[in-house]
Amino acid sequence: MKTSKIVYKPVGLALGAVSGMIADALFKQAWKIGGHDADAPDATDEDRGWGEIVVAAAIQGAIFATVKALVDRGGATATRRLTGTWPG
């Protein structure tokens, strides 16, 4: 296993946790800005319709994937600067 991969493993885990928190905050803001209730619906929320649940899930998924890609790419770029090799 490459040294950069070993170095990146704990960094990647920490970045994953941070990206989840950032994505959650962004999703909550986007949901509020969209004129919805303060809380997004859960799939098991009986009082919410299919359409609202599916839209919320799609928006949340897009935000989480985008934030994860940005944070992962930034972490890999920083690892290359520190170690001289790409952590892949």
Helix (H) or strand (E) holding 43: none
Q: How many CB atoms lie within 10 A of CB 88?
A: 10
Amino acid letter for position 22: I
- Domain hosting 61: range is 3-83
Name the pLDDT band for 42 (thresholds 50, 70, 90).
confident
Residue 60 included in any domain: yes
Residue 16 included in any domain: yes
Residue 88 included in any domain: no
Residue 18 included in any domain: yes
* 28-32, 45-49, 60-64, 78-82: range with lowest mean pLDDT: 78-82
Q: For the chain, how many structural domains are there in total?
A: 1
Mean pLDDT of all residues in 32-58: 88
Residue 74 included in any domain: yes
Residue 28 included in any domain: yes
More confident residue, 1 or 86: 86
